[in-house]
Chains A and B, each alone.
Chain A
Amino acid sequence: MPRAPFPELSSSVRLKYVKLGYQYLVNNFVAFLLIPVMIAVSLVLVRRGPDEIMALWHSLQLDLTQVLFSVFLFVFVAAVYFVSRPRPVYLVDYACFKPPTTCRVPFATFMEHAWLINWDEKSVQFQTRILERSGLGEETCLPPANHYIPPIPTMEASRAEAQLVIFSAIDDLLKKTGLRPKNIDILVVNCSLFSPTPSLSAMIINKYELRSNIRSFNLSGMGCSAGLISIDLARDLLQVHPSSNALVISTEIITPNLYTGNQRSMLLPNCLFRMGAAAILLSNRRRDARRAKYRLLHLVRTHKGADDRAYRCVYQEEDAEGHTGISLSKDLMVIAGKALKSNITTIGPLVLPMSEQLLFFLTLVGRKLINHKWKPYIPDFKMAFEHFCIHAGGRAVIDELQNNLQLTAEHVEASRMTLHRFGNTSSSSLWYELSYIESKGRMRRGHRVWQIGFGSGFKCNSAVWKCLRTVETLVDGPWTDCINRYPVDIPDVVKL
């Protein structure tokens, strides 16, 4: 995979300190400006002496009513300002589905099943090679129907999987938040590859007896980045409806989607996709601000579908023998990189500190006016975020993004460990990664998280959250029983 060359501006230690000083100066520019002003004012006051200051105060002859009126006016204007701001969107809590150990698919099981279902040696060897380099561990899970030989991809089995993963996640969430189902105002469900009628949202309304005036939406076919699309929709709805909450469910149902053919580009999803689900509770109620974990700062969606290559890089089609599967093109990494760049162009100005933006702008100007051979400046996103949740689409995706954004191993640890423990759970993977960071006790109040999802289309969606309260390490979640074993060292190639 070709790696794009990126500049090393701070190659020497001296330059690094210069850069640090520059960042400090630019980011706190207003404070620096105010310091001389404050010094000047205090010097004047000190020179005048306390008696003179009191005389000055009395000479103003302020009337009580006028003072009260001014105070009232100030409070009134402040109130108008606060009320007219857009409603904040809080993430009260979320829960991820923890698959039962009976659903585990160790490598040996996977290879044996692949052989017994397929009987094609080349396909099995190909899948073995993929699995060796995939970064998946031995504890990833497939739904019960896929454990049968041959698998039973019926609608009934698919619904059973959906009920298992979704209801478990929702039950966990209701327990954590104490939310009563009748109080849910908005429901958004996304599941890309299984879309029965009535929808999965109707299934949830039926099971939990939700209200008849609920605003429910069911999104499907939108790929692995659909989780953030659902959050976007929930956010828009929460802007419009005061004092409401929204339940967002992100999942992918594996049962009906096992590819039984031999085309290599379509065998990849079999190796990577595993079952998972996440249930997220969002709210715009001010009283939830006290107990909410995160606040949504920004959400940016980028759709590269206008470009044919990007559009076709993750494509569902039939192979020569009539088996339907999703083919992944060889250009996937390049396209992901381009989509990310487009997304960064929009989100950069919203999140980067002034110092980075200024450097980027100056380099851009320099390239255009002075010398076009200057290398483009890649802003340092580590200054804008403490944590990164990169969609665990596969090892190559995480490698590519780590390289593009110049992240350290610790920054991408959550993504790699999620891929190892749970596999590619599609749209819910971002939530497993967030849970990992919390379980490791790394999430502190004020920390900012950047979630990046990629999906068919080709889309790149990203969301920025700010942590509102330090999360205790004993987090009840999918990592509870295994967090102490992580991080593990994942070799480049596991010999099978």
Chain B
Amino acid sequence: MDLLWTISTTLLLCSLLSILWKEFDRRRNRSCYLLDFVCYKPSDDRKLSSELCSDIIVRNKRLSVPDYKFLLKVVVNSGISEETYGPRSIIEGREECPTHDDCVDEVDDCMYRTLDELFLRTGISPIDVDVLVVNVSMFAPSPSLTSRIVNRYRMREDVKNFSLVGMGCSASPIAIDLVNNIFETRKRTLAVVVTSESIAPNWYCGTDKSMMLGNCLFRSGGCSFMLTNDPSLKHRAKMNLKCLVRAHIGANDDAYGCAIQKEDDEGRVGFHLSKSLPKAAVRAFAENLQRLAPKVLPMGELALYVLRGFRHRLWRSKEAKTDAATAARVNFKSGVDHFCLHTGGAAVIDAVGRALGLTNYDMEPARMTLHRWGNTSASSLWYVLGYMEAKKRLRRKDRVLMLSFGAGFKCNSCLWEVLRDLNDGGAWDDCIRAYPPQTLDNPFIEKFGWVKEA
């Protein structure tokens, strides 16, 4: 029965081929390409100088003189320049009673400006968008922000839209995680993600110091970016996602409560940042790095790390070994070329940089972003990336690590591989030549020099 034999062998080969093809197809679908990103640049009439900040602080008649000094000190020493932006309602004096329209306009301006430019630059029409994700942590109107975008750009009826809210400063990797998961279930899908923060409705007008920090550090900003898993668009893509790690230590009460929106003793809502925040950040950071290291580091470095671990266990070294300190022993620079650190504050950048063993050159993009744009919450990573691109640091095959922290407490990270040499100026175009400046000191230190003595 040669015929039977031939038929059997053919069927067997076909089955094997189909399995191989399915596996190959699945891996192909796993790609998540970043086509482009556009960072938000508000209009110049929204710039918040230190002088203007001081005026705004003084408007709060409930504060005492020590409170003013404390706040001015924070502002002056924050590493934030005179060029950052605030919402119109605060600049125009309505910080204590913003209208619903003020809040909506603030977010609309960011979303629409960045999306208009994104669609223009990529040449892709809004009608082709399959997935839309918006993350704005502290403002969720009805209909949702995604519906606002669907309405304005007349998107399709079957667009998958998700409005992520309340996920803090590290919501960007969460949105990417969501899109990436959808990419694995559908072919040739195009996704648009908008990440921003809403400051107007969240201005704190009480006297609790732990809640006033937010007022001083948060600034207006946002970013829209486009992702796809369509291999035919790979040649136009800027980066490819290699891995993503999310760590959530909310199970611990201190971590959950260290950055929380709540009412103060007088019933005013504010964002409370507790003293245990750095500790929670370290724990979440360690948790994230433990899972990130094997995915990011080359085999040699991993082997060294394991060997050091054995040596420590065998010889019971007396040195205090916290997880963060162990992390410092691991040379992340062996697997990562550029680091996009969340610009939570100068102290955060310094601490993370020390833990990862980074040089001033590595931390420069984050520091400069904090200086030029302030803490723009979830979108800060994209401004840092924009700096690197404007400085022409991103070359083909470079690996970029995005690392951010957020309320909950979370630490999320994702690793990108650059697909081609990048040199767009983006939002940094008009000022990149002035960076890095001679000094990061606030020019008004002379005027407010007395705060340094307090």
In the complex, whether A239 has a CB less than 8 A from a CB of chain B is: yes
The reply to whether A195 and B165 contact each other, CB–CB distance below 8 Å, is: yes
Interface-lining segment among A214-222, A357-365, A392-400, A417-425: A214-222
A-B contact count (CB 8 A): 212
Contact with B along A192-226 (1 / 0, CB 8 A): 11011111111101101111111111111111000
The reply to whether A212 and B247 contact each other, CB–CB distance below 8 Å, is: yes
Interface-lining segment among B78-86, B116-124, B133-141: B133-141
In the complex, whether B223 has a CB less than 8 A from a CB of chain A is: no
Q: Give A400 to B15 CA distance when docked, in angstroms.
A: 51
The reply to whether A305 and B165 contact each other, CB–CB distance below 8 Å, is: no
In the complex, whether A410 has a CB less than 8 A from a CB of chain B is: no
Note all chain A residues with C-beta closer than 8 A to B269: 155
The reply to whether B144 and A220 contact each other, CB–CB distance below 8 Å, is: yes
The reply to whether B161 and A236 contact each other, CB–CB distance below 8 Å, is: no
A200, A221, A236, A237: the one contacting B142 at CB < 8 Å is A221
Note all chain B residues with C-beta closer than 8 A to A77: 11, 15
Interchain nearest-CB distance for A253 vs B (Å): 12
In the complex, whether A342 has a CB less than 8 A from a CB of chain B is: yes
The reply to whether A240 and B181 contact each other, CB–CB distance below 8 Å, is: yes
B11, B12, B158, B246: the one contacting A303 at CB < 8 Å is B158
Q: Is the interface of A mostly helix, strand, loop or mixed?
A: mixed
Q: Give A236 to B249 CA distance when docked, in angstroms.
A: 24
Interface-lining segment among A5-13, A167-175, A307-315: A307-315
In the complex, whether A233 has a CB less than 8 A from a CB of chain B is: yes
Interchain nearest-CB distance for B246 vs A (Å): 7
Within 8 A of B (CB), among A288-347: 301-306, 308, 311, 314-318, 322, 324, 326, 342, 346
Q: Number of B interface residues at 8 Å Cβ cutoff, please give it.
A: 70
Q: Give A155 to B246 CA distance when docked, in angstroms.
A: 28
B1, B166, B251: the one contacting A220 at CB < 8 Å is B166
In the complex, whether A415 has a CB less than 8 A from a CB of chain B is: no
The reply to whether A303 and B163 contact each other, CB–CB distance below 8 Å, is: no
Q: Is the interface of B mostly helix, strand, loop or mixed?
A: mixed
Interchain nearest-CB distance for B253 vs A (Å): 7
Q: Give A202 to B257 CA distance when docked, in angstroms.
A: 10
Q: Number of A interface residues at 8 Å Cβ cutoff, please give it.
A: 72
Q: Give A202 to B250 CA distance when docked, in angstroms.
A: 6
Given the interface pairs A73-B11, A80-B15, the reply to whether A197 lies near B182 with Cβ below 8 Å is: no
Interchain nearest-CB distance for B231 vs A (Å): 19
The reply to whether B142 and A302 contact each other, CB–CB distance below 8 Å, is: no
Given the interface pairs A154-B267, A195-B140, A232-B160, the reply to whether A215 lies near B177 with Cβ below 8 Å is: yes
Note all chain A residues with C-beta closer than 8 A to B147: 303, 305, 311, 456-457, 459
The reply to whether A303 and B164 contact each other, CB–CB distance below 8 Å, is: no
The reply to whether A205 and B251 contact each other, CB–CB distance below 8 Å, is: yes
In the complex, whether B291 has a CB less than 8 A from a CB of chain A is: yes
The reply to whether B178 and A233 contact each other, CB–CB distance below 8 Å, is: yes
Note all chain B residues with C-beta closer than 8 A to A212: 247-249, 251, 287
Interchain nearest-CB distance for A466 vs B (Å): 20
Q: Give A311 to B249 CA distance when docked, in angstroms.
A: 38
Within 8 A of A (CB), among B149-173: 150-151, 154-168
B1, B144, B184: the one contacting A222 at CB < 8 Å is B144
Note all chain B residues with C-beta closer than 8 A to A59: none
The reply to whether B144 and A198 contact each other, CB–CB distance below 8 Å, is: no
Note all chain B residues with C-beta closer than 8 A to A126: none
Q: Give A215 to B287 CA distance when docked, in angstroms.
A: 15
The reply to whether B162 and A220 contact each other, CB–CB distance below 8 Å, is: no
In the complex, whether A70 has a CB less than 8 A from a CB of chain B is: yes
Give 4 closest A-B pairs by Cβ, nearest first: A199-B166, A221-B144, A220-B165, A305-B150
20 CB < 8 A contacts A-B: A66-B1, A66-B5, A76-B12, A80-B18, A156-B262, A198-B259, A198-B407, A199-B165, A199-B167, A201-B167, A205-B248, A205-B250, A205-B256, A206-B256, A210-B248, A219-B165, A303-B158, A303-B161, A316-B143, A456-B143
